Amino acid sequence: MQMNKGIQSRSFTIAIHVLFWLGFFLIPFVDDNRQHISNYFITRNAFLLFLLASFYYINSLALIPKLLLPGKLKVYSFIVLVIILVISVMNLLFAQILDGVMEHEMHHPSFLRRLLFPVFPSLFVFAISTAVKITNEWFRNEKEKKEMENEKLNSELAFLKSQVNPHFLFNILNNICSLARKKSDETEQSIIMLSQIMRYMLYESKDEKVSLEKEVEYLQNYIELQRLRISDTVIINFTIDGNPENYLIEPMLLIPFVENAFKHGISYIDDSKVEINLKMEKNLIHFRVENFIAKKSEENIAAESGIGLKNVIRRLELLYPGKHELSIKDDKVKYIVDLKISIDQ
């Protein structure tokens, strides 16, 4: 497919060049005086066209890349002037040779006029050649620059994504380890849930986008796993408004906010509550996480902050530039994350 596009592009470029030179050749014939259209006139015009076309491609393919773009302006200007002079002299010599070979009814212009006649078309061809080449180079550079930026962004996204999975897995293993120390009967169930989570992380999350329904199942498994280790007095609400099947989203994008709520919003002393709401409406995904901040020292909170939130904020900036709104409120009592993402469907 890509090769076919390349062939089509080259064919289109060749067709444009052929039409340009054909039109350039026919310009002198746009004259009501039909007596000028003779074999002599056609031959002279064809020879001049050959000289101008040679100048065009020499300038475009050799002079501009090797002299103008590297900044050798003086040398470039000198060579261009020499070429224009050579074109004028060759055209003059060819005309004189043709005068002795072919009969014609054209009047003989002066020597100086014959010499200077090709200068204007040469300057015109020079201007067109330079403009086209520089414009093409600019577009090519912009395309390469964009490709490099995209490659850099993809590399950064891959790096951020690779950090999310081990970070998240590390926290879950800590939870299971805590259950194992207590010799809880729920340890086996937590391991089963972990296997389901890991299946999603290893297989589903490799895709660029997944169904929002899969991401919701992932969140539900995570929440159920958290329920196994916390007190029954902790209130956890996860509500869904809308059908997640109709939406695609980047995997592992919502979990850091939920993980953060459990990390800093669960207390074994005071009443705790985590509210999670996911709402889908037309092209908008609205995700809100709200939790009370457990009483911890600033040092403990800073030590447990991890890399999850920083990563997801950066991923949102890269994946949804201008298409998301993220509000994080922290008044030392309640922590609220409010995320809106516009989805192209």
Identity of the amino acid at 276: I
Look at residue 152 and tell me if it is in a domain.
no
Look at residue 151 and tell me if it is in a domain.
no
Question: Do both 268 and 167 map to the same domain?
Answer: yes
Identity of the amino acid at 177: C
Residues facing residue 336 across a β-bridge: 290, 329
Say what the pLDDT of residue 151 is.
64
Residue ranges making up the domain that contains 74: 2-145
Question: Do both 122 and 260 map to the same domain?
Answer: no
What CATH number has the domain bearing residue 230?
3.30.565.10
Look at residue 251 and tell me if it is in a domain.
yes
Check: CB of residue 219 under 8 Å from CB of residue 185.
no
The last residue of a domain, from among 110, 145, 180: 145
Question: Do both 12 and 92 map to the same domain?
Answer: yes
Question: Do both 100 and 247 map to the same domain?
Answer: no
Residue 50's CB is within 10 A of a number of other CB atoms, namely 13
Question: Do both 170 and 314 map to the same domain?
Answer: yes
Question: Do both 200 and 326 map to the same domain?
Answer: yes
Question: Do both 173 and 296 map to the same domain?
Answer: yes
Look at residue 156 and tell me if it is in a domain.
no
The last residue of a domain, from among 145, 178, 208: 145
Look at residue 155 and tell me if it is in a domain.
no
Question: Do both 179 and 318 map to the same domain?
Answer: yes
Question: Do both 133 and 233 map to the same domain?
Answer: no
Look at residue 61 and tell me if it is in a domain.
yes
Say what the pLDDT of residue 224 is.
85
Contacts of 232 (CB under 8 A, 6+ apart): none
Verdict on whether the full-model pTM lies above 0.85: no
Q: What is the pLDDT along the chain (345 residues), one digit of tens a residue?
A: 545 665 777 788 888 888 888 888 887 777 545 555 677 778 888 898 999 999 999 999 999 988 887 778 889 999 999 999 999 999 888 888 877 666 555 556 666 777 778 889 899 999 999 999 999 888 888 887 777 676 666 666 665 665 555 656 776 788 788 778 877 777 887 888 888 887 887 777 677 788 999 999 989 988 888 887 777 778 899 999 998 988 999 888 898 898 888 888 877 677 788 999 999 988 899 999 999 887 653 444 444 444 567 888 888 888 888 899 999 998 888 899 999 999 876
Identity of the amino acid at 342: S
Question: Do both 187 and 61 map to the same domain?
Answer: no
Domain count along the chain: 2
Look at residue 154 and tell me if it is in a domain.
no
Check: CB of residue 79 under 8 Å from CB of residue 63.
yes
Distances (CA, A) of 113 to 108, 120, 129: 10, 12, 25
Look at residue 153 and tell me if it is in a domain.
no
Question: Do both 138 and 169 map to the same domain?
Answer: no
Question: Do both 25 and 84 map to the same domain?
Answer: yes
The last residue of a domain, from among 111, 145, 179: 145
